[in-house]
């Protein structure tokens, strides 16, 4: 999707233009006059109250929020004395994702051209330029965008399409925003099932957690609404299937090392972003890791995730048998340690084609699996390279105090392990690294059929 802001003289037009490339359904599908009208900006006079109440923080308005960042940069481009600041910020961001072998020469170019630090730039921009920006038409446009975000969302905002999968509280369907044509996944939590299973707190918790997280490695919440029968979460659509399907249904179980490294690195980044918000995920397993059309992954299903109060630990015997850490099974207090155990389980399973403490489809009681987790050491076949074996052993340490990721350096310690020596995490987090595997439509359709049979 591409949007273009249209200028007319010294002011914006009443509409912003949206251009879409959508397959099928006719040229007008999702772009009717009625729904385009919904995207008309309110008159700036209607934003007066919002202008008084919105928090005017430079980093929030001009750096963190995508539309605010764009509008502030457009404003700076109209001021000759600020243009060089924006050029330097862009150069610094480009440097962060430059391949290692080219970084020195790129850094030298930046030093020669600018000779300034990025922090000092933001300090300068957050002063007088930020104050002037708030009195400009660009900030007025930002307020209009925020007013658009406040429009009520109902089921009529969307077109509903095929069922993608089924879960404990209902089904997940593909849906399309009528006004823009953008596709999402709509997770419908049926109220009767929620009430029957006493899952009200879990449903509310998932929504609140999703609202806090902004990561390319965790499914994003775009909208939320309710109908008479269901609570609906409109999420990032992931058409490539889940890791469980790809591990076990695409030839010999398991992946080659390069693919394991890539998925593990993206999962590590997703966990890091959750942990920055003091959120522990607690349900890391292959079926909760979804692939998009391009082969990138996102962590999904945050129903068991929980925010850990600052400086505290929590207790909760939750998760999936075979993937729960020893401290969870023992009902001990913990913070983020179960997630690093879960990453160890995933790296092991992606490599071996089986989970570390239970063979696929093995009939064994829960108590026996938990005993294995607590007492037995996992076995390593010749599928494991030395560094793969090493990171698994460090992540699957029974004592969380000895576990990789649980020391003061947290996720940074995991990223620094030799197993990830070929991963440039800056480029990965910027979305520049290309996956070695890209799912096609056949994978997606087969996976959906499998999900519906097992759902």
Q: Can you tell me the distance from the alpha carbon of 350 to that of 352, in angstroms, rounded to the nearest whole number?
A: 6
Q: Does the annotation mark 283 as catalytic?
A: yes
Strand-pair partners of 223? 234
Q: How many CB atoms lie within 10 A of CB 15?
A: 12
167-190 burial string, b = 16+ CB within 10 Å, else e?
eebbbbbbbbbbbbbebbbbbbbb
Annotated active-site residue in 94, 100, 283, 292: 283
Angle between helices 100-113 and 80-96 (to 10 degrees): 160
> Of the candidates 9, 139, 124, which has an alpha carbon nearest to the alpha carbon of residue 73?
139
> Of the candidates 450, 451, 453, 441, which has an alpha carbon nearest to the alpha carbon of residue 165?
451
| CA atoms lying within 13 Å on the CB side of residue 363 | 0
- 124 vs 95, 116, 137, CA distance in Å? 21, 11, 21
Q: How many CB atoms lie within 10 A of CB 410?
A: 17
Cβ proximity of 20 and 1 under 8 Å:
yes
Q: Can you tell me the distance from the alpha carbon of 292 to that of 298, in angstroms, rounded to the nearest whole number?
A: 8
Q: Give the pair of three-digit tokens for residue 372.
A: 């294995």
Q: How many CB atoms lie within 10 A of CB 28?
A: 8
Q: How many CB atoms lie within 10 A of CB 241?
A: 23
Residues contributing to the annotated binding site: 196
Strand-pair partners of 190? 230
Q: Can you tell me the distance from the alpha carbon of 14 to that of 37, in angstroms, rounded to the nearest whole number?
A: 10
Q: Can you tell me the distance from the alpha carbon of 277 to that of 262, in angstroms, rounded to the nearest whole number?
A: 24
Query: In the structure, how many helices (H) and strands (E) does the chain have?
Result: 20, 13
DSSP annotation string for 265-324 = HHHHHHHHHHHHTTEE-----GGGEEE-TTS-EEE---TT-EEPPTT--B----S-TTTS
- 3-state secondary structure (DSSP) of residue 186: strand
Cβ proximity of 396 and 349 under 8 Å:
no
Q: Give the pair of three-digit tokens for residue 412.
A: 């940074």
Q: φ and ψ at 147, to 5 degrees?
A: -65, -40
Q: Give the pair of three-digit tokens for residue 77.
A: 């481009």
Cβ proximity of 239 and 165 under 8 Å:
no
- Helix, strand, coil % in the chain, rounded to nearest 5: 45, 15, 40
Residues contributing to the annotated binding site for ATP: 196
Active site residues: 283
């Amino acid at each position: 999707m591409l949007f273009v802001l249209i200028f007319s003289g010294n002011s914006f037009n009443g509409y912003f233009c949206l251009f879409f490339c959508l397959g099928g359904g006719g040229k007008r599908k999702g772009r009717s006059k009625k729904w385009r009208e919904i995207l008309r900006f309110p008159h700036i006079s209607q934003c007066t109250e919002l202008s008084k109440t919105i928090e005017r923080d430079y980093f929030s308005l001009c750096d963190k929020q995508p539309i605010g960042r764009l509008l502030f940069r457009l404003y700076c481009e109209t001021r000759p004395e600020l243009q060089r600041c924006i050029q330097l910020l862009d150069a610094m961001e480009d440097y962060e994702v430059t391949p290692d072998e080219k970084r020195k020469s790129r850094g030298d170019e930046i030093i020669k051209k600018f000779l300034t630090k990025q922090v000092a730039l933001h300090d300068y921009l957050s002063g007088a330029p930020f104050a002037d920006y708030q009195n400009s038409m660009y900030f007025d446009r930002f307020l209009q965008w925020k007013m658009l975000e406040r429009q009520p969302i109902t089921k009529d905002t969307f077109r509903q399409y095929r069922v993608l999968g089924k879960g404990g509280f209902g089904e997940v369907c593909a849906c399309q925003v009528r006004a823009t044509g953008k596709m999402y996944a709509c997770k419908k939590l049926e109220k009767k099932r929620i009430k029957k299973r006493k899952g009200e707190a879990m449903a509310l918790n998932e929504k609140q957690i999703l609202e806090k997280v902004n990561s390319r490695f965790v499914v994003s919440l775009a909208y939320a609404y309710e109908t008479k029968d269901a609570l609906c979460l409109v999420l990032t659509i992931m058409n490539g299937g889940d890791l469980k399907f790809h591990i076990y249904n695409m030839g010999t179980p398991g992946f080659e090392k390069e693919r394991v490294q890539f998925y593990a690195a993206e999962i590590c980044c997703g966990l890091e972003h959750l942990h920055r918000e003091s959120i522990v995920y607690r349900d890391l397993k292959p079926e909760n890791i979804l692939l998009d059309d391009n082969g990138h992954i996102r962590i999904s299903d945050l129903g068991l995730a929980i925010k850990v109060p600052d400086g505290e630990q929590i207790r909760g015997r939750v998760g999936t048998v075979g993937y729960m850490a020893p401290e969870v099974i023992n009902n001990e207090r913990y913070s983020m340690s179960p997630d690093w155990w879960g990453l160890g389980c995933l790296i092991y399973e992606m490599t071996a084609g089986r989970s570390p403490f239970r063979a696929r489809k093995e009939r064994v009681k829960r108590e026996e699996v938990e005993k294995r987790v607590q007492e037995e050491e996992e076995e390593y076949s010749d599928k494991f390279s030395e560094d793969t074996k090493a990171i698994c052993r460090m992540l699957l340490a029974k004592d969380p105090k000895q576990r990789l990721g649980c020391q003061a350096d947290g996720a940074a310690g995991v990223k620094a392990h030799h197993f990830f020596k070929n991963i440039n995490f800056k480029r990965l987090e910027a979305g520049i690294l290309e996956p070695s595997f890209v799912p096609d439509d056949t994978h997606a359709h087969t996976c959906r059929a499998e999900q519906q049979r097992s759902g």
